[in-house]
Homo-oligomer: A and B are copies of this chain.
Amino acid sequence: MAQGRPFELQRLHGMGEGVYREVLRQHPQQPCRVYAPVGQHRDLLAYLVRRLLENGANSSFVHQLADESVGLAVLLASPMERAHAFAQGEAGPLCLPLPPQLYGPHRPNSLGLDLSVAADRALLEAAWAAVRLPDIPEFDIKNLNKSFYTCVSSYEKWSSLPVGERAEVMRRAADALQADLPRFCALLVKEAHKTWGDAIAEVREAIDFLRYYALQAERIQQPIALPEVAPEVFTPPGFKGWGLTGESNTLQLRGRGVWVAISPWNFPLAIFIGQVAAALVTGNVVLAKPAEQTPAVAHAAVALLHEAGVPNDALQLFHGSGETVGAGLVALPGIAGVVFTGSTQVAKLIQRALAAKDGPIVPLIAETGGINAMLVDSSALPEQVCDAVVQSAFRSAGQRCSALRLLCVHEAVADGVIEMIQGAMQTLQVGDPSNFATDVGPLIDVEAHAHISHLVENIKKNVHLSLINQAQAAIKNIFLPVLIEVSDVAQVGEEIFGPVLQVLRWGPSCTGLETPHALIAAINRLGATRVGSAGYGLTLGLHTRIDSRARAWAQAAHVGNVYVNRNMIGAVVGLQPFGGDGLSGTGPKAGGPHYLYRFCTEQTLTINTTAAGGNVALMA
């Protein structure tokens, strides 16, 4: 089979001995490895169970050999041919969609690059060599009214386009972004100090937002004939339909007007484009203010959207500080809504500024912070927990609103789990994000570094400190991942937006935290400012091998996104609609089926169809 090409043969100890003997007889120098599972019984049990599951599968050779209903032709069919047929898209026995078709024929999945493939890395290296950060001038606040009126004047035309045309503009932008992925990745690494892996995921998310909202807008902005009757209702032959005769009633969703979109530096492309695309595709026009730290990414995104067909006046970029430009935009009397992602404190300021104005009460969509917990019981798989914790707490240097902040481990397994996490932390590569090997890059800027250093110093004074990773790094604003053990939920008072993980033990010997129920109640109150008021509720990780328990805990948690037996970051558009409860935001969830409603206003149109003298429909 090798036909002269180099190869290596591997077999599990105790199996396939005849094949080895034959190969080694003919090619004594051939590399032939024997591998064997090594470990204690608790490791080997899991391995054994997996082997049993594989061999027990209906499709396994061992199983089929004993099955008299499986003929020789099926048994001996070449797996190569089956794989080939599958790759050609023919309905094979597995018949699962390939990754690009994961979301059905109406929405192509975004494509990434594989950092373990040299050719893919080369694309990024070339983009990195070419990329320059342009100087984006700050917006002069005295031109605000003028910009607003040009935006208003673009509204009528853009909002009266058929929704399909606006959706096509978003799809063109998505395709252009897909084609230009390496350049946008390089921009993200350069301006936002993202690792390459994070950058690729972010560009993909932006592409997904564009395509997902395009599809959702086409769905919800079709006129709805009323009354709606469930499609499964039986309608007898010849039946003319439920509802009134002599009157038509339709409900139509339309844009609201000029939106202000204010986005953060931690997802300067994905959240920026998500907000803007949601507003635009539903027929609104947008004044967009990106974070001060990341204007170049936003500038490139706006250029891409203009190129795809969004009129220049209908999407305008405002670079500047929140205190001047952001506040000025929110205070404009005629805006139809604000979509904001950022801190809970700034969201509150925006709410108050909107309320202070006279005029209509306009929607505020705010997606804010979280003190996100992970709850681990004694049945959880430690390796899985360790993987999930390290990714959730330290990836992107902890600068995700979804990042894990408080790990709650059952006391029976806490020692082992914490030790394993500490070990994994030692292997993290912290440093220059433009290096492909880097796992954890720097914080966004020197202010963030000073702020988080200060918070961690304060915690150190008050709590038992398990471990601070003391290694140093050469690049600026690096904050080394840190794990701190605390003894009470009350010690965790605020969101620390960096690679800082606090760990808490729970169980029968922990006063106030004896049961998972008590723990979830405490998690629900995290960050609450007053008795009776809700706390944060953004993400929650659950690790348990008892399925019913995971569901009951999810039900009890006032939290927007619950992840079971995996990491708790990286919500995927359309799969994991994202956004929280209480202090973590207003909803609706971004990347979910209910998001676009909030960008729309509804009009009911009732027509007396008998006004001409009779109901012509009945006579037809």
Contact = CB atoms under 8 A, between A and B. Distances in A.
Interface of A: 46, 49-50, 53-54, 56-59, 91, 93-97, 101-106, 148-149, 152, 160, 219, 224, 226-230, 233, 236-240, 242-245, 247, 249, 251, 256-257, 332-334, 336, 347-348, 351-352, 354-356, 358-364, 366, 381, 384, 528-534, 545, 547, 550-551, 554-555, 558-566, 571, 574-579, 581-583, 585-589, 592-594, 597, 601-608, 611-614, 616, 618-619
Contacts of A587: 601-602
A589 B565 contact: no
Contacts of A602: 560, 577, 579, 587-589, 592, 594
Contacts of A224: 593
Given A364-B361, A613-B49, A233 B104 contact: yes
Contacts of A384: 611
Smallest CB-CB A-B distances: 5 pairs: A334-B532, A565-B611, A355-B355, A104-B229, A566-B608
Main secondary structure of the interface of A (DSSP, over half): loop
Contact of A597 (B96, B333, B529, B594): B594
Contacts of A94: 240, 618
Given A587-B601, A619-B56, A607 B565 contact: yes
A551 B605 CA distance: 9
Given A53-B613, A102-B227, A545-B612, A604 B583 contact: no
A551 to B, nearest CB: 8
Contact of A560 (B334, B381, B588, B603): B603
Nearest to A388: B608
Contacts of A605: 551, 554, 562, 564
B50 A613 contact: yes
Contact of A611 (B49, B545, B607, B618): B545
Given A95-B236, A233-B104, A226 B574 contact: yes
B550 A607 contact: yes
B352 A355 contact: yes
B148 A608 contact: no
Contacts of A149: 532
A533 B586 contact: no
Contact of A230 (B101, B104, B576): B104
A160 B545 CA distance: 24
A605 B50 CA distance: 26
A291 B141 CA distance: 45
A581 B608 contact: no
A534 B359 contact: yes
Nearest to A562: B605
A607 to B, nearest CB: 4
Contacts of A237: 91
Contacts of A361: 347-348, 351, 364, 366, 585-586
A616 B53 contact: yes
A302 to B, nearest CB: 23
How many identical chains are in the complex? 2
A606 to B, nearest CB: 5
A352 B46 CA distance: 58
A591 B188 CA distance: 46
Of A149, A227, A230, A578, most B-chain CB atoms within 10 Å = A227
A604 B228 CA distance: 27
A224 B245 CA distance: 34
A240 B95 CA distance: 6
Given A227-B575, A366-B361, A597 B603 contact: no
Given A103-B227, A244-B102, A613 B46 contact: yes
A247 B533 CA distance: 34
A238 B604 contact: no
Contacts of A102: 227, 242-244
A496 to B, nearest CB: 20
Given A565-B608, A614-B54, A236 B333 contact: no
Contacts of A585: 361
Contacts of A101: 242
Given A238-B91, A348-B361, A577 B606 contact: no
A333 B533 contact: yes
A611 B575 CA distance: 19
Contacts of A97: 242-243
A602 B58 CA distance: 38
B577 A251 contact: yes
A344 to B, nearest CB: 9
A96 B578 CA distance: 45
B532 A152 contact: yes
Of A95, A563, A575, A604, most B-chain CB atoms within 10 Å = A604
Nearest to A145: B532
Contacts of A604: 560-562, 571, 576-578, 589, 592
A586 B364 CA distance: 11
A363 B46 CA distance: 48
A586 B363 contact: yes
12 contacts: A50-B614, A57-B619, A351-B355, A359-B528, A360-B533, A360-B581, A361-B364, A362-B586, A545-B612, A561-B603, A575-B606, A594-B602
A260 B561 CA distance: 26
A333 B106 CA distance: 45
A47 to B, nearest CB: 9
Contacts of A103: 227, 229, 242-243
A589 B581 CA distance: 23
Contacts of A612: 545
A75 B243 CA distance: 29
